[in-house]
Amino acid sequence: MELHAYTRTISDLFSVKKKYVVPRFQREYSWTKEQVSELWDDIVSNITLDDDGNFTHEEYFIGSLVLVGDDKSVSLQIVDGQQRLTTLTILLSALCQRFMEVGKDKVAKSIHENYIAGKDDEGNYYFKLENETPKPFFQTAIQHIKKEKDSPSSEEEKTLLNSYSEFYSNTSKESLKAKFSLKEVNADLYEQLLKAVRDQVVKYLKVIFITVSEEDEAYTIFETLNARGMNLSFVDLIKNKVFKGLTGKHPDDFAKTKWKELRNIIVSRDGVGGLETFVRHWWISKYSYVSAENVYKSFKKQWNSGTIDAKTFVDELVGDAKLYLKTSSPILEDFKQQEEKELYRSLSALRTFNVTQQRPFVLSLFRAREKGFLKLNEIKEILSLVEKFHFLFNAVCSMRPSGIEGSYSKAARQLFEAKDRNAAKKVVTELKQQLLKRLPDRETFKDKFSKLKFLKGYTKDKKLIQYIFSYIESTKQTTKEFTPDSITLEHILSQSSGTEDHVGSIGNLLPLGAELNEEAGNKKPTEKLNVYKKSGFKLTQEFATLEVEKWGEEEIQKRTISLAEYCYDSIQESVK
C-alpha cells in the first residue's frame, strides 16, 4: 500500500478546485456540543489581541486527514477526518452569515467561494464537502450562502444544526467580547475579531494530509485507524466491513439503502436505545455473549471464517430491527388482535421497569413464534414470568443482575438454533427454572416494597406504583373487560397532612380516575369514602367498605405490608 503524506492548512485543502466526498461506509455526523466547544476554545485560545489592537496567531495541529486519491484527483473520498472537516465547514458557514449581517457581503462571499463552494470547468457550482446522507438539509440550511430555514428530519440533521447554532452563538459580538476579555466592541473591532477567527481557521489550523490510491485500501486504513475503538463504535467498524463486502451501487447502493433503513427503524421510537444497543443484543441473541467492547472482535472472527454473508447479514439486521422495535418499545398498534394484548402489557411493563437484559431472549422468542416453534399462549406465559421476575427482582428489590443477561443470551441462542417445537419448548422451560431460582425472598420484597412512595416533590416511583395497582386490579377483576391502563394516584390522607414518610407511602395511595380524584380533593379520609364507592377499581371499592375513623401512620404501615404480601403471594402462585 502506497501512502503520501503532507502538511496542509485548511486553506490548502479548500481553496483548490477539489471536492471532498464523505463515502458510503462513513458514520453519520455525530459531534456533541462539548466537542464543538472544545474545538472553538482551541481555535480562539491561539489568537492573541495586544493592547495596540494587533492580532497574533499560533499554529494548531488538528490531526490527520486520510483520503482516497492523489494530487491530480478532482474528487477525493474521506477515510478519516470527515467529522472535523464537516465541523470546520459549519464554522466557516457561520462566519459567512455573521459577515453578511454586518454588511460585509464581499468578505462573506470570499469565504463561501474559497472554502465552502466552488465552480467546475463548466462553470457549475458544487460544494467542496459533499455528504449525501443529510442531503438536502446540510446543503440548503448550512452550506448555502443564502440559508433556508429548513427543519431537521433526522438525528444527524439535528446534530448538524446544533453545531451550526453553537458556532453562530460563539461568533456573536457579545460572545467574542467575553472570549477576548474586552470592555467594549464597536462595529470595526467586531469585524476584525471575525476576520481573526477566519484567519486562524484557514491559515493556522494544520493537518497531516495522507492519500491512498485505491478505495479498497481505504476500508483497510479506516479499520486500522480505529481498530482499538478510540474513535469509532463497534457498529461503525462492522458497517465498514459490510460496505466493503457490498460494493455494488447499480441499480441501487444496496448497503447504503439498507443501513439507512436500519438506522431509521431504531431511531423511530423513544426507549429503544441506540444502534449500538440493538446490534449488541442482536449479536448475542445469535452468535456469542460478549461485551460491547468485544462485539467487533467476535464479528470479525465470524467474518474471516466466511460464516457471515454481507447481504444476508444486513437483511437479517433490518428484519430483526423491526421485531426489536416492537418488543423493546411497544405500542398498542403492534398488537392489534385481542389475544395479543397481554403481550403488549408485559412488554410495556418491562419498559416501565427500565430493564434491557431480557431483550436478546425476547427477540429470539418472537423469532421462534414466526417460525411456528412456539404458540401464542406459550409466548404469553414466559413473557408474563419475565415481567413478574423483573418486577420483583429489579423494579422493587433492585438486586444485582449478575449472570442474568448471560442466561438470557444463552437461551436466546439456543432458541435461534432450535430445529423444532420440542427443542424450543425445552429452552423456555429451562430458562423459567433459572428465573424461579433467583426470585427474591418474601421478607426482602416486603422491606423494599415498603420504601416506595409518591408525592408532588418525589415522583421517581410513580410509574411503578401505577403498575402495582394495575397488577392488583388484574388479579381482582373477574372479567377481561376492565383494563386499568391509566391510573391517577389518590392520597387517602392528603399531602397537606402528616409527614412525607407515611403520606407518600403506597399504603396511603389508591387507584382512582382523574375526575373522582379531583372530587376527593383534600377532604378527610372519612369524607372521601362515598367518592371511592363510585370508582370502578376493585381495590378502591374494597377500601371504601373499611372503617377509617382513625387513619394515620400505623394504619398506613399495616396496609403497605398487606399490599406487599398480596403482590408477592399472588405472583408466587401465578408462576408455579
Over the stretch 144-180, which tens digit does the pLDDT of each residue have? 999 988 889 888 899 999 999 999 999 999 999 999 9
Backbone angles phi, psi at 208, to 5 degrees: -90, 115
Sign of the CA dihedral with 229 first, then 234, 239, and 244 last: positive
Average pLDDT score, the chain: 89
Over the stretch 261-303, which tens digit does the pLDDT of each residue have? 998 899 889 889 889 999 999 999 999 999 988 998 899 899 9
Spatial distance between the Cα atoms of 506 and 567, rounded to a whole number of angstroms: 13
Strands (E), 94-187: 117-119, 125-127, 129-130
The whole-angstrom distance between residue 344's C-alpha and the CA centroid of its chain comes to 22
511: DSSP letter: E
The answer to whether residues 362 and 272 touch, using CB atoms and an 8 Å cutoff, is: no
Spatial distance between the Cα atoms of 57 and 49, rounded to a whole number of angstroms: 9
C-alpha distances out from residue 497 to 484, 503, 504, 524, Å? 28, 7, 10, 10
* Cβ contacts of 196 within 8 Å, gap of 6 or more: 47, 49, 55, 57
Q: Where are the alpha helices (DSSP H) in 334-399?
A: 341-352, 359-371, 376-390
Over the stretch 39-72, which tens digit does the pLDDT of each residue have? 999 999 999 998 888 999 998 888 888 888 876 7
Q: How far apart are the first and last CA of the chain?
A: 65
Over the stretch 239-272, which tens digit does the pLDDT of each residue have? 878 887 887 775 777 888 898 899 889 988 988 9
- Amino acid at position 360, single letter: P
CB atoms near residue 10 (< 10 Å): 23
Angle between helices 359-371 and 275-286 (to 10 degrees): 60
For residue 297, which of 241, 219, 365, 376 has the smallest C-alpha distance? 241
- pTM flag (> 0.75): no
The answer to whether residues 127 and 139 touch, using CB atoms and an 8 Å cutoff, is: yes
